[in-house]
A and B are shown apart, each in its own frame.
Chain A
Amino acid sequence: MNAMTFKEKIGMEKFLFTSELGPPKSASAAAIRKKTAYFKNGVDCVNVTDNQTAIVRLSSTASAVICRDEGVEPIVQMTCRDRNRLALQSDLLGLGALGIPNVLCLTGDYQRFGNHPEARGVFDLDSIQLIYTADRLRKGAFLSGDTMKNKPDLCIGGAANPFADPLEFRVLRLAKKIAAGADFIQTQPVFDIDRFSEWMESVRKAGLHRKTAILAGVMPVKSARALLYMKSEVPGMRISGELIERMEKAGDPKEEGIRLAVETILELKKIEGIRGIHLMPLLWESITPRIAEQAGLIQNRPESIENGERNIPDKGMAGNPTDNKEKNRRKST
């Protein structure tokens, strides 16, 4: 990739836009390649999830390699649920060797919610300690104290949930993650702007927004049922009754979901201290280019025009995916 890396973009005070890709529940590289087509226009980086909601999927590192080869810069999510400190450190070194620096350190969803509820959860480290571990590795030392010659070049991220209680503790967790070495933070999807603003105010008061790049999460939903499901089944979410009503009343819930996501993004852009948007189109990756365009997230990107390789889509669709794929494949070799 000759374009700027995500790390450089963080340093450049640019408005960032990341999205998310869920690897398939099979050994299909084609499924990942197909999805990457949606992210070629204007998306800075794509999160590759690590067995999200504790359901076994294709490995996030392997998916990230496929993603990178397609010309889309990946962020590898790494959870503490499945691996102990040995495996985590070895995977971080692996990322360094592969030249994939971006890693998002998470504690991980509890195994009971997935498709192997009888599994043993590891949780040897927690997310803050994993950030610390990654930071220590990139400085050249293992947790054991041993040192290494070739340090992995890592760009470390963390997650924040502004909606779970208690609010003050959420800000503290963020402060701890930043103190441990997080370069960027992605939040849980925002459905409650008021609460998010309240959280951001505390974050600004602690001066944390100046030390890291905070990307606000946005999730487009397809129906009122999806919202209801999130409210009841996904812990730590705040979804108001009005929002569900609005989705229920809508003639075309999909369109309404897109409109809602765009509105949320525009609101979030106004909040001081927000450095970018992290779109989480849960298994609806195809909608990314359209939302990005409608919310004006792919404007002001001169490099995408200059290169001529990243076409700005005209009406919501990601240009011609196969065309782009060919070009990017040539670009990466």
Chain B
Amino acid sequence: MSYIGGEEVPPPENLTTTKTKPVSPGERRLSLAARLLEDLVKVPLFRCQRCGECILSHTAFICSQRCPKRLRNGPCGGTGEDGTCEVYPERKCIWYRIYHRSKKLNRFSMLFRTENIHNWELEHTSAWLNVFLKRIEPPVFFRKSKKKKESK
């Protein structure tokens, strides 16, 4: 087990969600309806890329999928000085922003877990519906309550 700043970096358990059944046409239709609402919130607020497997709550409420490489586990090796993106030098690396925001919000340890390999079956579906259908894990809004659970 590795520790950074006294907190544990857990080994990845199972990074695939392929055990879940394929999305049925009916569910897709339902997803479209749910996305009407979800997009209304997530697109203007977070510039949501509709991956359907939302990890916003882990990444300090900045959508990591705006990364050109769509990385889910932290920045690639190309972040320049002052945190510029290697692909679009006019932009800041999204992970550089996530790092600073999570530091500010005391959520840095939320980045410690290795995120799932993206399930492309869920691309363009509604993450809210997916949480409801237990396809993906629910967001973690309050870090403290999560910590208490772990200590139990």
Task: Report which A residues bind B (CB closer than 8 A).
Answer: 85, 107, 109-110, 112, 121, 123-126, 128-129, 132-133, 143-145, 159-161, 164-166, 168-169, 171-173, 175-176, 178-180, 188, 206-208, 211, 235-236, 238
Contacts and interface: CB of A to CB of B under 8 A. Distances in A.
Contacts of A85: 117
A165 B4 contact: no
A129 B117 CA distance: 7
Interface in B44-94: 68-84, 86-87
Given A161-B77, A172-B4, A236-B86, A123 B71 contact: yes
A110 B11 CA distance: 28
A132 B114 contact: yes
A238 B81 contact: yes
A141 to B, nearest CB: 10
B15 A132 contact: yes
Nearest to B18: A144
B145 interface: no
Given A207-B3, A235-B86, A164 B80 contact: yes
A129 B15 contact: yes
B interface majority secondary structure: loop
B12 A180 contact: yes
B77 A164 contact: yes
Interface residues of B, number: 42
26 contacts: A110-B69, A121-B69, A123-B69, A124-B117, A128-B12, A129-B117, A132-B15, A132-B117, A143-B16, A144-B16, A145-B16, A145-B18, A164-B80, A166-B99, A168-B99, A169-B111, A173-B73, A175-B9, A176-B114, A179-B1, A179-B2, A180-B12, A206-B3, A235-B79, A236-B78, A238-B81
B139 interface: no
Contacts of A173: 73-75
A179 B10 contact: yes
Most buried by A among B9, B68, B111: B9
Given A123-B69, A171-B4, 18 more contacts: A110-B69, A121-B69, A123-B71, A124-B120, A126-B73, A132-B15, A143-B15, A143-B18, A145-B16, A160-B77, A165-B83, A165-B96, A172-B74, A173-B75, A176-B114, A179-B1, A179-B10, A235-B86
Interface in B1-45: 1-4, 9-12, 15-16, 18-19
Interface of B: 1-4, 9-12, 15-16, 18-19, 68-84, 86-87, 95-96, 99-100, 108, 111-112, 114, 117-118, 120
Contacts of A123: 69-71
Contacts of A171: 4
B92 to A, nearest CB: 11
A129 B73 contact: yes
A238 B4 CA distance: 24
A166 B96 CA distance: 7
Contacts of A124: 117-118, 120
A166 B118 contact: no
A172 B86 CA distance: 20
A125 B81 CA distance: 26
B78 A110 contact: yes
Nearest to B86: A235
Nearest to A144: B18
B51 to A, nearest CB: 13
Given A143-B117, A180-B114, A238-B81, A175 B4 contact: yes
Given A171-B4, A179-B12, A107 B76 contact: yes
A208 B3 CA distance: 9
Nearest to B2: A175
B15 to A, nearest CB: 6
Contacts of B68: 110, 121
B18 A176 contact: no
Most buried by B among A126, A188, A207: A126
Contact of A178 (B2, B75, B79): B2
Given A144-B16, A172-B111, A235 B78 contact: yes
B71 to A, nearest CB: 5
Contact of A176 (B16, B19, B73, B108): B73
